[in-house]
Amino acid sequence: MSFINTRKNAFLESIPKVSIEDKCDYIARKCKFNFSYFDHTQEPAQNFSDWSNEQLLKFLWKLHEYSKESLLHWQKMPVGKKSGHVLEIYKSFPNKSDFSHPKHVPHQAQWGRFVSAPESAPVFTEITSAH
């Protein structure tokens, strides 16, 4: 005699079968943002609490859009009429900056900036390598 548990089978069927380990899933390649090194203590810096609701929403939507693609995608995506790209990675902490290299950021960090359009202010960030 065979017993079929229809509730169990229905529950198991309701669980998504998508996995980040699948070859067709690209989440590992997409941009991910981590604010653990965010430093608002230097003189020219701003804190999130200084921003208006509109500024915060705009920033979150930019992160949302950037998260849809890989870092390499944004490094190749041109912006404006010049040779710039949405994401520029620097060889080291930029010399022409109002900031100094924060002591708590590892020396291996790669620095870069995102910019979505020539008229918008760039979003500066450190890009850390996974190696």
Cα of 64 vs its chain's centroid, Å: 8
Residues 6 or more apart whose CB falls under 8 angstroms from that of 81 comprise: 118
Residue pLDDT, tens place only, 23-79: 766 777 788 888 888 889 988 899 999 999 999 999 999 999 998 888 899 999 988
Q: Is the pLDDT of residue 117 over 60?
A: no
Residues 6 or more apart whose CB falls under 8 angstroms from that of 32 comprise: 67
pTM here is: 0.66
The SS3 of residue 75 is helix
> Tell me, what's the pLDDT at 116?
66
